[in-house]
Amino acid sequence: MHVLVTGGTGFIGQALCRQLAGEGHALTVLTRHAQRAAPLLPAGARTVTALAQLQREAGVDAVVNLAGEPIADKRWSSARKRELETSRIALTRELVAWMRGASPRPRVLVSASAIGYYGDQGNNSVTEGSAPHDEYQHRLCRDWEREALAAREYGIRVAVLRIGLVVGSGGGFLQRMLPPFRLGLGGPIGSGRQWMSWIEREDLLAMIHLLLEREDLDGAFNATAPEPVSSRVFARTLGAVLRRPAFMPLPAFLLQLALGEMSQLLLTGQRVLPQRFTEQGFRFRHPQLESALRAALQ
C-alpha cells in the first residue's frame, strides 16, 4: 500500500511512519521542510513540500492526515487562532481537493481530530454520539472534521480520530510534565477534578492501522483508553511511577492569568469513552494509565 502522511515529523507521525515502513508500505510525507524532515523519517520515505509534486501515476492508496500546529503551546491570540485553523482546516481542504483530482483516487482518508470536539463535558461520560458543548475548541475540531468528511462526496471512505492526550516516550504532553514531577514539584491542575482522557501511543497507532485496513469502518472514532482519570489521579499515578511526591497543585487563577482562554484546555475536560473501538473488539495494550506511563518512561 502507498500511504501519504501529513504531520509525519510530529510525535505521532514519526512513530506511524516507522511502523508503516517496517510493514513494507510505500511512504510519502507532505512537509514544509524536506531537509529537516529527512533525518526524522525512515529510510526510503519520500518527502514532498506540495501536493502538486505528487504525480498521478504515484497511485496513493491511503492518506493519514495528522497535520496541525500544537494547540497548547501558545496563548490563543487572534493570530494564533488563525495559525491553528490554517494548519488544520485549510490544509485538510487542500488535501481533499487534491484527492478529488487524483487518478486513481485514494481509497481511504484517516484524519485526525481531537476530543476537544466535545468541549467541556463536566462529569458526563462521552461517546461518539454525545452532543458537544459550543466553545472554541469544539468549533475548531468541528470545522476540521467537516473538511475531511467532504471527501466522501468523491467515493473516499473517511474515518476521523478524536484523539485524547497521547502518552508515549520522547515527546507529547508527558514530556512537558516530567521536569517538575521529577523534582517532586508536580501535582494536579486546578481543582484536580477535571477528567483527562488519554491514549497510549502504540494503541493509537493500532487504531490508525485498523481504520486503514477495515473497509467497513468510517465516521468518527474516539481514540482514547477505556479508563479516563481525573487530573488528581493522573498526577498521583505519575508521581508513583517516578517515585516522587505529587501534591503541589497548579492554581487555576495562575493558569488563567498566564494562558487566558487557552487555560480552559487544562481546567476543563471530557470523560471520553472509545465506544466504537470497543464495539469492534479492539484490544488495548495499555488500558490502564499506570501501565501506559511505565511503558513510556522505561
Reported as a pLDDT band with limits 50, 70 and 90, residue 253 is confident
| Angle between helices 231-242 and 172-182 in degrees, nearest 10 | 60
Tell me which residue of 40, 39, 52 sits closest to 13, measured CA to CA.
40
Q: Per-residue confidence at 110, pLDDT binned at 50, 70, 90?
A: very high
Confidence band (pLDDT; 50, 70, 90) for 282? very high
Q: Does the pLDDT value for residue 191 go beyond 60? A: yes
What does the pLDDT read at residue 31? 94
229 — pLDDT class (breaks 50, 70, 90): very high
Kind and range of the H or E run holding 27:
strand 26-30
Distance of alpha carbon 246 from alpha carbon 215, whole angstroms: 45
On the CB side of 295, CA atoms within 13 Å amount to 16
Note the CATH number of domain 2-173+198-224+272-284: 3.40.50.720
- Tell me what pLDDT residue 56 has: 58
251 band by pLDDT with thresholds 50, 70 and 90: confident
Nearest to 169 by CA among 286, 277, 84: 286
| DSSP code for 245 | -
- Over residues 27-51, the mean pLDDT reads 92
The mean predicted confidence, pLDDT, of the chain is 94
Q: What is the pLDDT of residue 256?
A: 84
**Can you give the pLDDT at residue 40?**
93
**Residue 286 scores a pLDDT above 70:** yes
Q: For residue 230, what is its C-alpha cell?
A: 481525573
The grid coordinates listed for 164 are: 485524547
Q: What is the pLDDT of residue 230?
A: 96
- Where residue 265 falls among pLDDT bands split at 50, 70, 90? confident
Of the pLDDT bands very low, low, confident and very high (cuts 50, 70, 90), residue 57 is: low
Task: Judge whether 29 and 5 are in contact, CB under 8 Å.
Answer: yes
Among 126-135, 166-175, 272-281, name the one with the lowest average pLDDT. 166-175
Domain boundaries, the chain: 2-173+198-224+272-284
- Cell numbers given for 58: 504515484
Percent of the chain at pLDDT above 90?
81
Instruction: Note the pLDDT of residue 73.
Output: 81
Note the pLDDT of residue 133: 94
Question: How far does Cα 132 stand from its chain's mean position?
Answer: 18
Range with the poorest average pLDDT among 187-196, 208-217, 243-252: 243-252
Q: State the alpha helices, DSSP H only, in the chain.
A: 11-22, 34-37, 78-85, 91-101, 136-149, 172-182, 201-213, 231-242, 252-259, 264-267, 275-279, 289-297
**What pLDDT digit, counting tens, does each position of 111-151 carry?**
999 999 999 999 999 999 999 999 999 999 999 999 999 99
Residue 58 has pLDDT above 80, yes or no: no
What's the average model confidence in pLDDT over 66-81? 90
Give the closest residue to 161 by CA, choosing from 272, 265, 57: 272
What cell does 61 get?
492508496
Output the CA–CA distances (angstroms, integers) from residue 132 to 18, 160, 213, 234, in the order listed.
34, 16, 29, 24
What is the spatial distance between Cα 179 and Cα 173, in angstroms, rounded to a whole number? 12
Residue whose C-alpha cell is 510525507: 29
β-strand partners of 111: 65, 160
Share of the chain above pLDDT 70, in %: 99
Rounded to the nearest angstrom, the gap between the alpha carbon of residue 227 and the centroid of all alpha carbons in its chain is: 18
